[in-house]
Amino acid sequence: MQSEFQPPREFAAIDLGSNSFHMIVARIVNGSIQILSRIKRRVRLADGLDEHRVLSQDAIDRGVACLGLFAKRLTGFSPENVKVVGTYTLRRAVNNEEFLAKAKAVFPFPIHIITGAEEAKLIYSGVCHTQPENGRKFVVDIGGGSTEMTIGDGFTPLRAESRHMGCVSFAKRFFPNGELTQSRFDTAYQSAMEKIEDLAWEYRELGWEHVLGSSGTIKTVSKVLLANHYRDGVINETRLQELIAICLKFNNLKHIQLKGLVEERADILVPGLAILLALFHTFQIRSMRYSDGALREGVMYGLEKSFLVGDIRQRTAEALAEQFNIDQQQAERVKQTALQLFEQVKSWKNKFQINELRSILTWTSMLHEVGITINHNNVHRHSAYIIANRDLPGFDSEQKNLLTLLMRYHLKGFKKSDIRGINRFQHRDILTLLRIFRLAVLLNRSRQATIVPQQLLLQIQSNHWQLQFEPEFLRQNPLVVADLEDEQKLLARLELPLLIL
């Protein structure tokens, strides 16, 4: 008897934040999470919390209306596959039971109001499940009503704290009616410093290798910096001070205009900057990167314990390989050739990125044929499209862009101008990586391990490459010779000489 088909398990994670409500609907496919939809609604719950911690009727109504919308998307879901968490504003509100009662009338799933420490740990989990960084991490999230700060190793948080300071609550408290002055900014900054000063010694003593920021304020800062020519994705104090100086030229939060700043975030950017600057000073942070992972991702991954693996990218790659039925033996052959060539390159422009570039080359080799399931013709285009348009947990946006670029141009022609626009990586290093990968694919085109050259020597002087094989190899493999000659002609037109010996 044939077993009955079991459809992939679908589930939802919802974050009822102080500024926005977020919902992710996903399913598990081949051991990996596949995002089906994301819904975000700006509710501004914290706007309705008064000095007595009473949540206004208007704020309750806005939140309940949003949950009614979410409920329509979740028709047919069983309660065990829906996880909903309420954060700062709901845990602070003395009348949160009134909110929960009204929500229950339109939203048939349980809502868990979590503590600040639980929120911090879930945010940390969301970052760990979606970012490539290994080693000890310091994760920061400036929300609408609170700020969470967690240090951890791997998936294990070592210290997690939440403090009552957020971009919406600070806007309401320190910038009434949006009034913006240097004095008001300084007062907000000083208040943030006081709220976290007791954490300074212990956090700095624990230390970290990477600082990652998630969610609204840090996402906004990252987008503004990218739009204003800081394309390496780094947030540091100098850049923060430049942003603050520009913002303080305006006399009202609502009037602030910056490239990359969406209108709905304009009136809460400066309060968030005051908190972020205080974090940099208190913890002596040198630089920070934005992370796509946040609370809702932490909630989502918490629904399936099997995702606790050491290398997120390995899990992502394995799931793609299974889903697209990749020829893993061929992928391994390409990888081995690519790495053999890579290790002979001594002229990397950014030597601090060598390990990262090696990893990108490895994953590109393993996944470059995902598009073959669409059509063998133009597989490079199909593969690039799939990678560019999928969630790839473990790869940040810059790494994903580089993966896409290498897949897109590993076959047929390309122009030097095609490989610009990757912010973090040097143009010369990208070109070197692409030339290596093109050769690795070319030398394994027959898909037979028996003809792989035993000796493969690469010498580089500026743009001049020399590739040397063992005696008799080229004579015995005329098809490889023909392919190499085509590559020589293509590269010659780009003033990238390739000598074959």
pLDDT digits (tens, 9 = 90+) for 18-57: 889 999 998 877 656 788 898 999 998 988 999 899 999 9
pLDDT at 293 over 90: no
What's the token pair of residue 221?
A: 């800062």
- The C-alpha atoms of residue 270 and residue 273 are separated, in whole angstroms, by 5
Kindly report, residue by residue over 7-19, the tens digit of the pLDDT.
Answer: 677 889 999 998 8
Torsions phi, psi for 77 (to 5 deg): -75, 140
Maximal C-alpha separation, the chain:
86
Three-state DSSP state, 65: helix
What's the token pair of residue 45?
A: 């719950």
What's the token pair of residue 222?
A: 């990252």
Across the chain, mean pLDDT equals: 88
Asked whether 107 and 118 are in contact (CB, 8 A), the reply is no
Which band of pLDDT confidence, cut at 50, 70 and 90, is reported for residue 448? low
Residue 423's pLDDT is 66
Task: Write down all domains in the chain, each with its CATH number in brackets.
Answer: 10-114 (3.30.420.40), 117-293 (3.30.420.150), 312-500 (1.10.3210.10)
pLDDT at 1 over 50: no
What's the token pair of residue 80?
A: 């065990």
Kindly report, residue by residue over 137-177, the tens digit of the pLDDT.
Answer: 999 999 988 999 999 998 889 999 999 999 999 999 999 99
Torsions phi, psi for 74 (to 5 deg): -100, 15
Which band of pLDDT confidence, cut at 50, 70 and 90, is reported for residue 395? confident
